[in-house]
Structure 1
Amino acid sequence: MSPFNDTTARSGSLFASPIADANISFEFFPPKTPKMEDTLWTSIKKLESLNPSFVSVTYGAGGSTRERTHNTVKRLIDETSLSPAAHLTCVGATRDEVDDVIRDYKAAGVRSIVALRGDAPDGADTYTPYPGGYENAAELVAGIRRIGDFDISIAAYPEIHPDSPNLAADLDNLKRKIDAGANRAITQFFFETDKYFRFLDHCQSYGIDVPIVPGILPVSNFKTLKAFAASTGASVPDWLGHLFEGLDDRPETRSLVAATIAGEMCRKLYAGGVKDFHFYTLNRADLTFAVCHMLGHRPERAQSGEQG
């Protein structure tokens, strides 16, 4: 079912009432090249003006970006007003090595961590715990808790993690992470709000009562999205594909469509009681900035100017 329906048409405007009281946060990944670094920091500076509650920095497969993640987080602390949350995984390191990273973050002033099991290393078909390492995200959360009073986020999967045999197993795993000390869960991206709300119902039935923050991915490239979604267990509805048909060579139109889709999805989530949104920026500011703008979030300086 397409999000552009008769109810939307009758309401006059998707964005007639701003929802600026909602909290927003952003995810970035550490850059590989000087050009990518320039793009990242241009995006960070633009999105910083929206005063997000925090920003997270990802951690590459097998710990491959460990140093770059740490450097990006340290620069966020030193050069911006943002509160960074560093991603951390169990992959490719012993417990002692992971604990050293946690202590390094603590010493650098990092107070928030996104704790993840991590994906199987390149060349491996399935995830296997690293010898002497943390076996899973629940153990990692407990390890972080032992070292410091961090604010800990974890991952949740409205459409079930690809490695989980069924929903019950997935919820059991999520509950273990919460019981180990996680403060909130951030979901994998999704495109149909009904799936998110059904997932909330399942979580409540399991006694999971921490915030479940929806992960929002504004679609910049539909072909890339399909490949990415296949590896994460997220589904791509047919109506989404239809909306991007014929736009391969029209990036500006794609952006308009993508921003509208993401904006309306946030509207529906907000109407259902959601007050926190986590945006996967892919290190590009414009789409996320546009969605936040439509939702009523403005740069603080601009708001002050308008009020003056």
Structure 2
Amino acid sequence: MILTCTPNPSVDHTLEVPELLRGDVVRIRSASTEAGGKGVNVSRALRRNGRRTTAVLPVGGAPGAELAALLGDLPRVQVPVAAPTRSNVTLAEADGTTTKLNSPGPRLSPAEVDGLLEAVEAELARAPAWLVASGSLPSGAPTDLYARIAKLAADRGVPVALDTSGEPLAAAARSGAFALLKPNRAELSALLGRELATVGEVAGAAREAAGWGNGAVLVTLGSHGALLACGGHTWLGQGPPVVPRSTVGAGDCALAGYLAAGGPPEARLRRAVAWGAAAVALPGTTVPGPEDVRPADVTVIADPPESWAVGGG
């Protein structure tokens, strides 16, 4: 079983439009509403592909009730909070350009933060294979929340995968408490404070972050695939060109693919790229199923040329 913790989940509204033109009337081609939040997306992707998972998340107000309804029968532990769960809006253009309008989320009281930690600790007693701690932190949550969650997991011998950004990423990653870090290129660049324009620069930054005591670093690179640094080695995974519909949640699906089963690093990376690419071809935050994922189409290159250009997230 893979346990996920999403401190700041959301109700995600996706609007598909031909082109976003500021100040003009834009006709919506289609609209959808799905449960969102990075850890929630990981659990949804795992569940869709027949893997056991449990999601821990705070819920509040009418949006929280809507989120719970959208989650359906996904196994989960809901932590009640007073403030309403946030709602986000994604505008997806026909050429694959995605614009996200994200709310900051509810303000959690210290008691509610403690309630979230207690729920995670209780689920850790079930000995999950992994704990995924991911997403932004809501107002009121301490910056070191993920480091505290990692400590709870370490006490139970459960490896933790971290996927966040900004100050929460900096505070947690430098603690060296994580078996896996999953930033995108921009997040890793911000963490290290330098531009990462080539495979060599991304690989060097990933090895540096791993050197803080973290086990492996999986860096998603948008249309360039993903790079994995582990045990002093580097691999680049690339899939065939994909006609994008929405990039929202693609990194979460890549993380789910990486964790979904065991195997050598190359096999995990191949799954990650295949799951992420499949998600990009689907609308909104729809997660791919077995019929969408094609690992055989992914090429994995050990020690790729450092001069290759990379970009995206």
Which of the two has greater strand per residue? 2
> Does TM, normalized by the shorter one, top 0.5?
no
Of structures 1 and 2, the one with the larger relative CO (CA 8 A, separation 6+) is 1
TM tier, shorter chain? Answer: 0.3 to 0.5
TM-score, structure 2 as length reference: 0.39
Q: Which is higher, the Rg of structure 1 or of structure 2?
A: 1
Which of the two has greater helix per residue? 1
TM-score, structure 1 as length reference: 0.39
